[in-house]
Structures are given as structure tokens and as C-alpha cells.
Amino acid sequence: MTIASYRRILLKLSGEALMGDGQYGIDPATVSRMAAEVKAAKDTGLEICLVIGGGNIFRGMAGAAKGMDRAQADYMGMLATVMNALAMQSALEQLGVPTRVQSAIEMDKVCEPVIRRRAQRHLEKGRVVIFAAGVGAPYFTTDSGAALRAAEMKCDALLKGTSVDGVYNADPKLDPNAVRYETLSYDRVLQDNLKVMDASAVALCRDNSIPIVVFSIREQGNLARVLSGEGTATTVHQKD
């Protein structure tokens, strides 16, 4: 299946994608820009699931490093992802995109719980579904949440929007000779410890043959461009 023939995708954005130029938190103008990216992609006829991280607000590892109980800190991180999900829902609805948030930690005053069949129905009705709180368990990340939801929602691919336009053999911000891969295998990513997503997320995608498309979300219109098969990205799949 080529990128241009995807029908349903899961888009994973890190919490930092909502931060703008700041060091912390949610920048409404940046969230609006991200929402416009999602709308442009949706307007091409795609069904879109979204998973947003929480690193712009709180990361469990950072809390644990400062002496907090890891599991407790991870729950705080999961709550951070719910805040980001609500911010994104608001921005999408301002653009006229119907959106539902489903959280892996039940919070019925603010959003729905994760119910797969219900999410499926939302997608069929043209709603964007934002999955919040990752997998709902500590010691995981939203990358794993993204892989899990991509599998259960039968998404054609997991698109990971980051600050670089793909996967390189070295850090392109530090090494001017770094080379971008056009495609590579899950096994290579795991063996070479390439920073695509964490290992459990990559393994889950491998076991369910879900391609991971890594691209830059920084340039305007890039998500739609990549989805049309024209943009710059790295696809991780079974073969090297």
C-alpha cells in the first residue's frame, strides 16, 4: 500500500509540537496551526486518529529523576496528555472539524472513555478521534499508546510528526553529513537503536505490520503533502 492510498491513519504528535517557541506548556497559536494541519489532511478524505504526548507539561521520567515515585509521576504525565487532547479538540472545533476525545483513564466529565467500536463509529461519521492518556498504564509512553490505537483501530499507518524530516543515520542537527533513510526495517531501527519511537512501540508496529512514517510537522502543509506521497519522510516497514 502506498502512502497516497491510505484511508485511515493515526497521527502521533509529541507534546512539544504544541509548545511553539516556549519552553513549556500549550501555545494556543501553535495548537491552532497543528489543528489546521490535521484539517487539511482530513479534507483529503482521510479518517484520522490522533495521539498527543504530554512532554510539554510533564514527563514521568523527569519526575522520577527528581525523586518522585515513577508510577505516580507517570500518572501525572498521562493527565498532561489529556490537557493537550482537550486543547487540540478545542482548536479543531474552532476550525469546524468535529472531534471526540477518548481517554484511557476514565474522566467522564471531560471526555469519553476509550471504546473501540464507538471510536470506529466516530471515524465513519467524519469525526477526528483523539486518544488521550496513552495506554492508561505507567511505564509506557504515548508512542506505545499510538502503536496500540493504530493496531486496534486498524489504521493503515502511524504517522509520527517530529521536528526532523525523517530518520537519519546520525543526528542531522549535529552532523552535517547525516544521511536520511527513505525506508528502513523495524528490525534495523531496533538493532541500531535509532530514535524513531521507543522500542515497545516499534515492536508493536512490527508485529502488526503497521508502517511508521516519520516526517516534519514544522513546515506548513507538510502532513497533507506527505500523505499525497510528495513530501519528505522516512517509512519504517518490514523490509530494509
Residue 232 annotated in ligand binding: no
How many whole angstroms separate alpha carbon 131 and alpha carbon 114? 7
How many whole angstroms separate alpha carbon 122 and alpha carbon 218? 28
Residue 177's identity, in one-letter code, is N
**Residue with Cβ nearer ligand UDP (79 or 185):** 79
**Listed residue (167, 175, 223, 205) closest to 50, CA to CA:** 223
- In angstroms, give the least distance from the CB of 112 to ligand UDP: 17
Residue 74 annotated in ligand binding: yes
Instruction: Report the side by side order of strands in the sheet with 47-52.
Output: 112-113, 99-103, 128-132, 47-52, 8-13, 157-162, 212-216, 233-237, 183-185
Among 99, 103, 142, 162, binds ligand UDP (CB under 6 A): 142
Q: Which three cell numbers, joined as nine digits, stand for 63?
A: 519526575
Q: How many CB atoms lie within 10 A of CB 217?
A: 21
**Residue with Cβ nearer ligand UDP (44 or 217):** 217
Q: Is 228 left (phi over 0), alpha (psi -120 to 50) or beta?
A: alpha
- In angstroms, give the least distance from the CB of 73 to ligand UDP: 6
Residue 77 as a binder of ligand UDP (CB under 6 A): the answer is: yes
Residue 235 as a binder of ligand UDP (CB under 6 A): the answer is: no
Residue 165 annotated in ligand binding: no
> How does strand 157-162 pair with strand 212-216?
parallel
- In angstroms, give the least distance from the CB of 200 to ligand UDP: 10
Residue 140 as a binder of ligand UDP (CB under 6 A): the answer is: yes
Among 78, 153, 159, 194, binds ligand UDP (CB under 6 A): 78
Q: Are 131 and 114 in contact (CB under 8 A)?
A: yes
Residue 82 as a binder of ligand UDP (CB under 6 A): the answer is: no
Binding mask 30-69 for ligand UDP (x = CB under 6 A): -----------------------xxx---xxx--------
How many whole angstroms separate alpha carbon 127 and alpha carbon 74? 29
Binding mask 175-214 for ligand UDP (x = CB under 6 A): ----------------------------------------
Which residues of the chain form contacts with ligand UDP (CB under 6 A)?
14-16, 53-55, 59-61, 74, 77-78, 80-81, 134-135, 137-138, 140-145
